[in-house]
Amino acid sequence: MENFKRYVLLIAPILFSFLNEASSSVTHYSIPEEMKGGSVVANLATDLGLDVKTLNPRKMRLDIIANKKYLDVNKDNGELYIVEKIDREYICLAKPSCYLKLEVILEYPVRIFNIEVEILDMNDNAPQFRRDIIYLDISEATPKGERFSLSNAVDPDVGSNSVKTYQLSESEYFNIEVQTGRDGSKFAELILTKTLDREQQAVHNLILTAVDGGTPARSGTASVIVRVMDTNDNTPTFEKKIYNIKILENSPIGSLVIHLNATDLDEGSNSDITYSYSLYTSEKTQETFNLNPSTGEITVRGMLNYEDFRIYDMEVIATDHGANSLSGQCTIKILVEDMNDNHPEISIKSFQSPVNENIKLDTVIAVVSVSDKDSGDNGVVDLHIPDNMPFKLRESSDNYYELVVSEALDREKVPEYDVTFTVTDRGAPPLSDNETMTLELLDVNDNVPQFPQSFYTIRVMENNAPGALLSSLTAFDPDLHENQYLVYFILEKEIANTSMSMLFSINPENGNLYALKTFDYEIEKEFLFHIEARDSGSPPLSSNVTVHIIIVDQNDNAPVIVSPWRAHGSVVEEKIPRSTDKGSLVAKVIALDTDSVHNSRITYQFLQVTDATLFSLDQYNGEIRTMRMFSYRDPRHQRLVVVAKDNGEPALSATVTIKLSTVETAVKAYSDMTEVPLEYDIFSDLNLYLVIGLGSVSFLLLITILVTIVLKCQKAKPSKAAPPCRNSVISERNSTIADSTLVSNDAYWYSLFLAETRKGKLVVRQPVPKGSRYIVSSIPRGTGLTDTSDSAASTLQVGN
């Protein structure tokens, strides 16, 4: 420990001296900004006199002081390279010089080198104006040579890359002069080189361009908009010096004679004008005509009479509102013309309203007289009515006219007519007058009720609630009042001794059709009847419509599993030999659904199965078959839950649980297994008695065969195995379903016998032990099998 302390005391001065020497020298590099990442700046190992092989062992690292790490050193070759592109304007803003200070640190022994990288500016920024648009307001009275300051442009680059000069777009009125500020920045002054005239050009649009000194040079632009301010240097001017105007006598007071419009090219108050009469205008003229001082409108102020005064002369002065107001004037001559100043008159002498819409043709509706106080052509008048009306005028005497019906009227098309009588004289210009009368038409019951459709098809979902609204059958009658009040009836029609009024009801006032009972698609599928709509006119009119009611099936009947049959809630138990081959029929599930074809389409699927690899279920016919042979690892008891699902929405289903027990081939089946036979009770009323008779005869014949089989089986010895019974028998069932399968609820039955239901045969498939008993739902005759059961199902015993 003492030796280590002495070593530290000895080496410390040397180490500090070395560090001070290393830190005092600075290695300087200069690089342009915007160099790509990966670019090599220099080889530090060479410049610093370091051995490249020692860079990694000495843990060489590069620290950048107070900046992001833009550079790094490659320890394998000692090269200093760019890590990330450097933006000088971002690092140093507007400083004239920009440096990155780095420290290269090595260990073993510790040495520190100071590196200084100067970032040289590149012309990568264009000059920009603080505002894109510069507005200047200059009076048109401003003398030429006047100067105006403009906003300067800014360039983030420095030195020669900053703004050097300005340029102005071509203009005959303006020029610029570039000035240099105390800080060396450049700015431009706008100089007026020619006197402005607002009336010639009110706005001057200029483009100011700032150009930097880089290579290549970059530039930026700003729009300079000079708005010329107005001075009062233009006098008001009328469109004409002399106006000649003609006006009719008896023109109403306030009528417009002329609208004078003097214009002043100045703007603002310098262009606001006031109109007035001159001193040379007579008082008579000023009393007869009024001059609006703001708008320049001259209107009639007093009555004009051609016989009293025919010509009016006047002078009008227009004065602007400038500080030194200017004025202009014009002369107006007004000529009064004679006119047809009496309007013709109309007088209604007789008028009938209202009238019935079925009024006869040529019936007189009104009598009208016309007159005019003028004389000559101004007193001759003509009377007419619109051309598009079912009426015509008939002159009855001098200046008397009759209005008569010329076409048949129909209130439903046009309930009333506004008849306008127009009388016009033959003056120049002609005068006219008009009178309008309203003719109302009274309704007549001449329209039958109309339904929107001639045939209605209404779909009704079965199991509907009694009193449910089926549809609204509304007719329309264009007549009025009692002629349009409709009453609805169901036209009686009996179907199977049932009146339609017992099944349906219609609201006599609004035509709402209701169901009086709940319909069942399985019993009633459609109805066809008529509904009549009758109005309350005199005589009443009516029409009818055909209604087709279609009962829509609802999935309201769940499938019923009829095979294998079992008591409600019970489980079907079957036995099958373990030697059953692959593909053998184990059981067949049959379900029936009384709904329509779509809703009664049944599919079968396993809900639960002990071993999914052992059995398969045909989803369409319900047959359960073995998918492979049984192995010694398979359990002896298998539980199958089959669900029969219909195609309705929502789907209804029924399930059956089948417990399968596997037995050895030589083992007897249990005789205490009871099963209920599959029965179909779908006989119709027409052949019920015939089926009962045939069944009785078949039953007596079956009893005789069974007794014979029992006697033969009793004579046989129980210790010896009987040879297999190879006779085929005919099995007839008392059922209307010809192709239904002979069903045994013992699965062992299927391994011994084959039921060929379409041919009515029962065929032995393999040797059957003598004296064996099997439960089946039908008794095969002539096979040596004996019926020993008194229950609904039959027990078959194998005989000799």
Decide if pLDDT at 371 tops 70.
yes
More confident residue, 197 or 738: 197
720 pLDDT higher than 80: no
**pLDDT of res. 496:** 58
Q: How many CB atoms within 10 Å of residue 713? A: 22
pLDDT band at 570 (very low <50, low <70, confident <90, very high): low
The most confident of 488-497, 544-553, 591-600, 781-790, by mean pLDDT: 544-553
Task: Say whether pLDDT at 205 is over 90.
Answer: yes
Which range, of 168-172, 538-542, 569-573, averages the lowest pLDDT? Answer: 569-573
Mean pLDDT value across residues 498-510: 87
Which pLDDT belongs to residue 479? 85
Q: How many CA atoms lie within 13 A of 492 on its CB side?
A: 4
Angle, alpha carbons 368-371-377 (nearest 5°) = 130
Residue 794's pLDDT is 38
pLDDT in tens, 63-105: 877 667 888 888 888 888 888 888 787 778 767 788 888 888 8
For residue 450, the 8-state DSSP code is B
> What CA–CA distance (Å, rounded) separates 445 from 652?
57
The predicted pLDDT at position 689 comes to: 60
pLDDT of residue 220 exceeding 70, the answer is yes
Select, from the ranges 205-209, 607-611, 789-793, the one with the highest average predicted confidence (pLDDT). 205-209
- Whether the predicted pLDDT of 776 surpasses 60: no
Instruction: Give the residue-averaged pLDDT of 131-155.
Output: 86
**Pairwise CA distance, residues 585 & 307, whole Å:** 130
Best CA proximity match to 166, nearest among 157, 153, 155: 153
Tell me the average pLDDT across 542-551. 91
Evaluate if residue 357 carries a pLDDT over 70: yes
Q: Looking at the DSSP assignment, which residues form a beta bridge with residue 221?
A: 209
pLDDT digits (tens, 9 = 90+) for 383-402: 999 988 999 999 888 889 99
In this predicted structure, what is the pLDDT of residue 100?
83
Q: Mind listing the pLDDT tens digit for each residue in 340-350?
A: 777 888 988 88
Contact between 237 and 330 (Cβ < 8 Å): no
Structure tokens belonging to residue 77: 């070759």
pLDDT at 37: 82
Query: Per-residue pLDDT for 181 more than 90?
Result: no
Q: Is the pLDDT of residue 681 over 50?
A: no
Integer Cα distance of 194 and 202 in angstroms? 14
Q: Averaged over 629-653, what is the pLDDT? A: 86
3-state DSSP assignment of residue 698: helix
pLDDT of residue 259: 94
pLDDT the model gives residue 658: 87
Q: 692: pLDDT confidence band, cut at 50, 70 and 90? A: confident
The Cα angle at residue 703 between residues 702 and 704, in degrees rounded to 5: 90
pLDDT on residue 457: 93
pLDDT of amino acid 746: 38
Cα separation, 622 vs 336, in Å, equals 114
Between 37 and 623, the higher pLDDT residue:
623
- In the predicted model, what is the mean pLDDT of residues 163-172? 89
Token pair 């009996």: residue: 494
Average model confidence (pLDDT) for the chain?
78
Residue 615 burial class via C-beta count within 10 angstroms: exposed 0-12, middle 13-18, buried 19 and up: buried
HSE-up of residue 183 (Cα within 13 Å, Cβ side): 9
What is the number of residues in the chain?
800
Q: Which of 37-46, 351-360, 375-384, 507-516 has the lowest mean pLDDT?
A: 375-384
* pLDDT for the residue 495: 64
676 compared with 565, residue with greater pLDDT: 565
pLDDT of amino acid 25 = 78
pLDDT at 401: 92
Q: What is the pLDDT of residue 688?
A: 64
More confident residue, 124 or 280: 280
Q: What is the pTM of this model?
A: 0.38
pLDDT band at 494 (very low <50, low <70, confident <90, very high): low
Q: What is the pLDDT of residues 449-479, one digit of tens each?
A: 999 998 999 999 888 889 899 999 889 888 8
